[in-house]
Structures are given as C-alpha cells and as structure tokens.
Structure 1
Amino acid sequence: MVAGGARTGESEKISAWRPDVKGVTEVFHAHFTRHAYPMHVHDTWTLLIVDEGAVRYDLDRHEHGTPLGTVSLLPPQVPHNGSAATPHGFRKRVLYLEASSGGPLDASFIGAAVDSPDLVDPLLRNRISRLHACLARPGDELEAAARLALVGERLRERLRPRLADVPRPGPDRRVAGALRELLDARVVEGVELSEAAGLVHAHPAHLVRSFGAAYGIAPHQYLMARRVDRARRLLLDGLSPGEVAAECGFYDQSHLARHFKRVVGVPPGRYARGL
C-alpha cells in the first residue's frame, strides 16, 4: 500500500493511498469546507459517497448533487467540477476504479453513468462503505477484492436495470470446491481473487457467492481461519507472535493479532502465555 495524508487547512483534511487491490487505482478521503474543484477529468471511474454535508457538481452540462445516502458514479473522460452545497462543507470517501476491462466497469457503461450518475441505493452504499474500511487494513486484500466484486456487480445492475430481471446463476459447488482446494494449497502465500477466478473459470462475483453458499463462509474468512489454525500450532511450538505472523502469511504481527483474536477470543501473545 502506498499511503499519504495531509492537512490543507485548519478544517480541511485529506488522506490518499494506493491499495494493493486490482481494479482500484486510488482511495481518497477528504473533508473540505472551502475548496471548489474546477472542471476536470479523470481517466478512471470516480465512485463517491458523502458522509457529512453535500456536494453539488456539473457533469455533461447538467447540475447534480450528492445528498447524504447517495452514491455518485462519475465516468472517465467526462468533465465535471464540484463544490460544497452547504456552508459547513462536506466529508467524502472516493474510490478511483480502473476503466479497462480489468476493472469493475468498462467503457460500455459510460453513457448510462452520464445519464444517471447519482444512485439512491442503501445496499450499494453499505457495500462501498465496508469496502473502504477493508481497504484501510493492509493484509486483507482478498476480502477487499471480494467486496469490490460485489460492488461492481451492483453497479452493473443499476446502470443496466434490465440485467436485474435476468436471474443470477445459482451457486456452483464445482466452482466453490475448486476455490477451496486452491485456498488450501496456498494458505501461506494466498491468492488474488482475479487469479482464482481465472484458474476456476468463473466471474469473481459468482466465485464469491458460490463459495459462501456452499460453505457458509466467505473465501477471505476461510483463508484467515486456516492461517489462524496454523498460527495456534506454531505458538504451541514456542514461536513468538512476530515469527508466527511471518510463517503464516499475515501482513504483520498486528494483522495476525486482529484475526487471531476474532477467531480464538484472545490475542496471540496472551494465548502463548497461557501455555
């Protein structure tokens, strides 16, 4: 992860980083009271949620707004601006998403996004918010990729409503079983969701859904549970938590501690001291 944060004024703050998740080029969090964006363009999709206040902006010569609860999707290469719609400014979270075939949305959705950039969709907003929280945690890239796949699926449904009338393919136990075998074979090194989808010949969103339906657990939860199980054995063998984190594929010791406590109920250090 490449991270950065800065204060632009007494009450204006930003934080930006590049996560190690395919399809996301940048994460940007900001609190602005006075800044107004001039007309500009991005070569990526801009997926925006506002947590406080509201933003007004012009897109394709039409005025739009982002009241609380709205999801705004601004397409690549279409000029837009932005400014606070309230005296107290706004606080926002933004994901910049690849506009290529490797991202959640390709160029075929640009026209629909220009026509309807603001989506009132509580489910989509919740998924985006949870994705932001996950992207801020190094080591949870598989979970972030799975959440991004579901966000992309929902966006495609909203931009092409007729797709909502087409039944989704049901859970596929063959696909789920293939992914489980792959995760079991790569407990320590892990696997990217895009690579897994290619190996088992399934769309990432279908892969995530099939695994959850078959085993009652998300792929990233399954992988972390396998790593925690391995960590328990190594702690019993006398290794330190720092050594165990490296041996089991965790990002660092704090990453191990968070997942270990979630599964076992106590931090790894306390678990080891109880021997």
Structure 2
Amino acid sequence: MNSDQGESIRFWQTAPLAGVELLAARYIEHRFVPHVHDGYVIGMIMDGAQRYRYRGAEHLAGRGTLVLINPDELHTGHKGTEDGWLYRAFYPDNAQILAMLGELELPTDSLPAFGATLYRDPDLVSGFCQLHQLLESPATALQQQTLWREMMLLLLRRHAGVKAPGEPGREHRAIVQAKELLQAQLAAPPSLEELAAAVNLSPFHFARVFRRATGMPPHTWLMQQRIAQARALLRDGCLPLEVATQLGFADQSHLSRQFKQVYGVGPAAYRSARQSL
C-alpha cells in the first residue's frame, strides 16, 4: 500500500438503504479513542492492517479480514502497519436489522450478537466488498435492497447464530403480478420494498419467493428483460445509445457489457449484422 496517498474519508448513505451508514476510508495516523456505537459495525480491511482493542483483548486485522463489532461494545482503533489501513464499513442501525428479521418471520425479541470480532471469511468479505461498491454505483434500488438482505442473512446465520428461515412458498399470483410490474417499468423499476408492497408480501419473503420461482433474484430477472428488449430495439435499427437511454441502463458501456455477457457480441456489432441482412 502506497502511504504517499494520504488519508481519505468518505461517509455517506444511499436512499434505498434507510438506516445503513457507509464508510470508505484510508487511515494512517488517525487513532480512534475508546468508544461505542449504538448499532453494529461490519468492516472489511481492504489493505494494510488495523489494530484495535475489543472485549479486553488486542486484535490485529489484516488485509482480507472481516471485523464485526456488536452494539454498545467498547473498542478502539489505530494502524497496525506503518502505512495504516484501507477500510470499508457498514453501520446498520438496530431497527434495520430487526425489521429484516421480521420480514423472515424470525425472532425479533432481542438483537443477534456476533460471537467473535475477527474472521477470515473470504466469500463474505468478497460479497460485502462488492455490495459496498454497488452502493456507490447507479445500481437500481431493487438490486441494492435485495443484495443487502441476502448478505446480511448469510452473515447473521454464519456468525451470529440466527437460524435459517422457513422455506419460501410459491405465491404464483404474486410472481405473475411482480413480473408484469417490472415489464411495465423496465427503465425505472420499483424498489424491492415497493414491489413487495404491491403484491402484499414482505420484501425479503418476496425476494426469496421470486428466486424460488425463477431461479434468480428480481433484479437479475429485470436485467434479462432489459437485454431482451434491447435486442428487439437493435434489430429494429435503434442506435445503442438510444437503447441504453430508453431502457434505463447507466450508460452505453453498461448496455454493452450486459448485452455481450448474454449474446457474446456487443450491441453495435449485433445491430450492424442485423442491418446487413
């Protein structure tokens, strides 16, 4: 890690995830005094190392580790190497976690607690890092809200002893209605919470029912429909930029990446080939 870059801090919230604060930072000389948070801390060490005191013990969190702090537990923080540490973190409030458990009809009479603080758990670290970066991007609220719930359930089941929710039902009518809503709003789809409310299900229950019925989460199904519609528009002679704008892609390169993943050829090349027939 290059220490010449200096310290940097970005702290923000994204509207689709009410009750979750986000931090991306590079700390070198900064020292956190003993303090507590009223909610959880879910952190990933991206590079370097952080040293901290928690539950009366010293911990050294190196690159690729997951740092978990329970609400109201005293801890510190400072550099564990000369160059400091690169860090991404989620700070969900307690009401957000309890609401998510309620959506799955899991017990909400007390907060889950992480048994330890430091984990080497590569797939969780990778998943949370990807989610954190997604929350900096123009991804849909549908995708952000779905992935947040899926990652948090995985984390709480693996490291806080939360039991698995019951198997989702089939809810055929709700799935049909949801597909119709998504088809009608390809460019500006509803959020997971809006979509679930429209079919009278809780958000997490709906997401699990939808995945069981289709084999994919709702945001992935939506992207498949966008790409299919993009193909039809390109076949009719629309320019890739027009297609991207009309169907709600972030930009033309976003359309190109998604289209090529499905059809093996970029939208411009596909349009040219169709025009030459």
Cα deviation, residue 272, structure 1: 2.7
Question: 1:6 is matched with which residue?
Answer: none
Q: Are 2:52 and 1:57 aligned?
A: yes
Counterpart contact for 2:140–2:191, Cα < 8 Å:
no
Structure 1's unaligned 5+ residue stretches are 1-8
Cα deviation, residue 150, structure 1: 0.8
Counterpart contact for 2:46–2:88, Cα < 8 Å:
yes
Question: 1:118 is matched with which residue?
Answer: 118
Cα deviation, residue 20, structure 1: 4.3
Q: Are 2:10 and 1:10 aligned?
A: no
SS at match of 2:46: strand
Question: 1:129 is matched with which residue?
Answer: 129
Deviations 1:41-63 (A, max 9, x none): 55653320112233222346654
Question: 1:244 is matched with which residue?
Answer: 243
Counterpart contact for 1:41–1:78, Cα < 8 Å:
yes
Relative to structure 1, is the Cα distance of residues 255 and 104 closer, same or farther in structure 2, using a 3 angstrom cutoff?
Answer: farther
Relative to structure 1, is the Cα distance of residues 44 and 104 closer, same or farther in structure 2, using a 3 angstrom cutoff?
Answer: farther
Deviations 1:206-241 (A, max 9, x none): 333332232222211110111122222223333333
* Higher mean displacement: 222-231 or 88-97: 88-97
Deviations 1:145-178 (A, max 9, x none): 21101122123324652x33x5532453435444
Relative to structure 1, is the Cα distance of residues 202 and 122 closer, same or farther in structure 2, using a 3 angstrom cutoff?
Answer: farther
Relative to structure 1, is the Cα distance of residues 43 and 211 closer, same or farther in structure 2, using a 3 angstrom cutoff?
Answer: same
Deviations 1:7-42 (A, max 9, x none): xx7233536354343246443323333332234455
Structure 2's unaligned 5+ residue stretches are 102-107
Query: What is the RMSD of the two structures over their aligned residues, measured on CA atoms?
Result: 3.4
TM-score by length of 1: 0.77
Whole-angstrom distance in 2 between the partners of 1:48 and 1:107: 26
Relative to structure 1, is the Cα distance of residues 20 and 268 closer, same or farther in structure 2, using a 3 angstrom cutoff?
Answer: farther
Cα deviation, residue 83, structure 1: 1.0
Relative to structure 1, is the Cα distance of residues 120 and 251 closer, same or farther in structure 2, using a 3 angstrom cutoff?
Answer: same
Question: 2:234 is matched with which residue?
Answer: 235
Write out aligned runs for 1:90-239 (5 A). 90-101=85-96, 104=100, 108-109=110-111, 112-113=113-114, 116-158=116-158, 160-161=160-161, 163-164=162-163, 168-174=166-172, 175-239=174-238
Q: Are 2:36 and 1:34 aligned?
A: no
Counterpart contact for 1:109–1:159, Cα < 8 Å:
no
Question: 1:86 is matched with which residue?
Answer: 81
Whole-angstrom distance in 1 between the partners of 2:134 and 2:215: 20
Whole-angstrom distance in 2 between the partners of 1:241 and 1:15: 37
Percent identity, aligned pairs only, is 31
Question: 2:263 is matched with which residue?
Answer: 264
